[in-house]
Amino acid sequence: MLVPVPELAPGTILGGFRIIQRLGQGGMGDVFLARQLSMDRNVALKILSPSLIRNDALIGKFRDEVRTLANLRHPNIVTAFDAGEVETFYYMAMAHVVGEDLGRMVERGCLLAEKRILHLFLQVSEALKYAWDEVKLIHHDIKPSNIMLDGKGNPVLLDFGLAGPLVRAGSPDDAARPGGTPLYISPEMLQKGSVPDFRSDMYSLGATMFCVATGRPPFPGDHINEILAKHRDEPVPDPRSLRKGLSEGTARLIQTMMAKSPHKRHKSWQELIDDFYRVSLGEEPKVRKHLGESHAARKAGRLARRKRRRKALTIAVVVVALIGLAAYIIHTRL
């Protein structure tokens, strides 16, 4: 449990920033709306929780990661401006995105059109691909409330790399890191000793897309352990059971992103992006079907579809023959 940042009264000056108001709590601390005095602009100022600043190794990672984040330039990733420490406060200043996050939209019962959802999550996938390709950076806490829609309706990914102890994929510390939100966490994040890579973010993005498309998380529950067990053990529900009219392509896309094994998800962000384009155009995704079917069930389904096609073709041939016969009889009688 994070210790809250001590209350900072409006007007407090902290490292060249004047506090305006508290916005909320993030993965590693509290977020304040502040004015950057040197640039005369509003920023989102994230201040680390006092319970984290006691960890020297974590502080070192925080400084390193802030430098990395400051060099990321992507329209769908929140921009980092500055970072530092004042007395016992460690902070990071980011662009203040004015808009509404997807979590609030879901809470007020707003279900976006399927095409709109596909376009938004395509953009977020491109942002995640950029971060992975550039510096092998993983978000670790993708969820509806961390995707903000700006004034133009474009998605902006918040809390990038700040959702938990800041480490790159594959580093020794990564396997032991906490992080993630139970409703959207990947199964491998729950496994002791695992080293998550970009496919962990892919799972969380799929769970987030499920929620935005249907209005509820894929695995709701009253207790954290119950939710985590569902992520680990239960098959992903078909989102079409919760939202009629959702296309099979979108359902397949979500369920493949949320495959229990990372090896059964898309092999790269680009492969996922390509499938987003296909589904947006009304085509089927190229990924294998992961709707909880066994190989035998999928094979049986293919055979059944072939039989139906043959039956339909046979009926069509018979109908044409009967029409031809009837026409011949009528013609001969005339």
Fold assignment, 100-280: Transferase(Phosphotransferase); domain 1 (1.10.510)
Count the neighbouring beta carbons within 10 Å of the beta carbon of residue 277: 12
Assign 7 a pLDDT band (cuts: 50, 70, 90): confident
Q: Say how far residue 306 (Cα) sits from the centre of its chain.
A: 36
pLDDT band with cut points at 50, 70 and 90 for residue 28: confident
Using pLDDT thresholds of 50, 70 and 90, give the confidence band for residue 270.
very high
Confidence (pLDDT) at 67: 79
Residue 313 CA to residue 248 CA, distance in Å, equals: 25
pLDDT digits (tens, 9 = 90+) for 192-231: 888 889 999 999 999 999 999 999 999 999 999 999 999 9
> Where does the pLDDT of residue 334 fall: very low under 50, low under 70, confident under 90, or very high at 90 and above?
low
pLDDT at 96 over 60: yes
pLDDT above 60 (res 295): no
Burial of 57 (0-12, 13-18, 19+ CB in 10 A): exposed
Given this model, what pLDDT does residue 83 score?
86
Beta bridge partners, 93, equal 45, 82
Extract the tokens encoding 240.
């079409």
Percent of the chain surpassing pLDDT 90: 57
- 16 vs 333, higher pLDDT: 16
pLDDT, tens digit, 9 for 90 and up, residues 112-144:
999 999 999 999 999 999 999 998 889 989 999
Position 98 pLDDT exceeds 80: yes
Check pLDDT > 70 for residue 302. no
Q: What is the pLDDT of residue 218?
A: 98
pLDDT at position 308 is: 63
The residues, ordered by sequence, that sit 6+ positions from 246 with a Cβ below 8 Å of its Cβ are 114, 213, 214, 239, 240
Q: What are phi and psi of 278, to 5 degrees?
A: -60, -50
At 45-87, the pLDDT tens digits run 988 887 777 777 777 777 777 777 888 899 999 998 988 888 8
Give the CATH superfamily of 13-95. Answer: Phosphorylase Kinase; domain 1 (3.30.200.20)
Looking at 92-96, 175-179, 243-247, which range is the least confident one?
A: 175-179
**Number of CB atoms found within 10 A of residue 227's CB:** 20
Q: Do 13-95 and 100-280 have matching folds?
A: no
Residue 193 pLDDT: 83
CB-neighbour burial class of residue 113 (10 A; exposed 0-12, middle 13-18, buried 19+): exposed
Can you give the three-state secondary structure of the chain, one letter per residue?
A: CCCCCCCCCCCCEECCEEEEEEEEECCCEEEEEEEECCCCEEEEEEEECCCCCCCHHHHHHHHHHHHHHHCCCCCCECCEEEEEEECCEEEEEEECCCCEEHHHHHHCCCCCCHHHHHHHHHHHHHHHHHHHHHHCCCCCCCCHHHEEECCCCCEEECCCCCCCCCCCCCCHHHHHCCCCCHHHCCHHHHCCCCCCCHHHHHHHHHHHHHHHHHCCCCCCCCCHHHHHHHHHHCCCCCHHHCCCCCCHHHHHHHHHHCCCCHHHCCCCHHHHHHHHHHHHCCCCCCCCCCCCCCHHHHHHHHHHHHHHHHHHHHHHHHHHHHHHHHHHHHHHHC
Residue of 141, 174, 201, 275 marked catalytic: 141
Residue type (1 letter), 305? R
Longest CA–CA span in the chain (Å) reads 107
Q: Is 141 a catalytic residue?
A: yes
Q: Hey, what amino acid is at 34?
A: A
Domain ranges of the chain: 13-95, 100-280, 305-334
pLDDT at 24 over 90: no
pLDDT reported for residue 87: 82
**How far is 96 from 292, CA to CA, in rounded Å?**
41
At residue 153, the pLDDT reads 96
On the question of pLDDT at 171 being above 50, the answer is: no
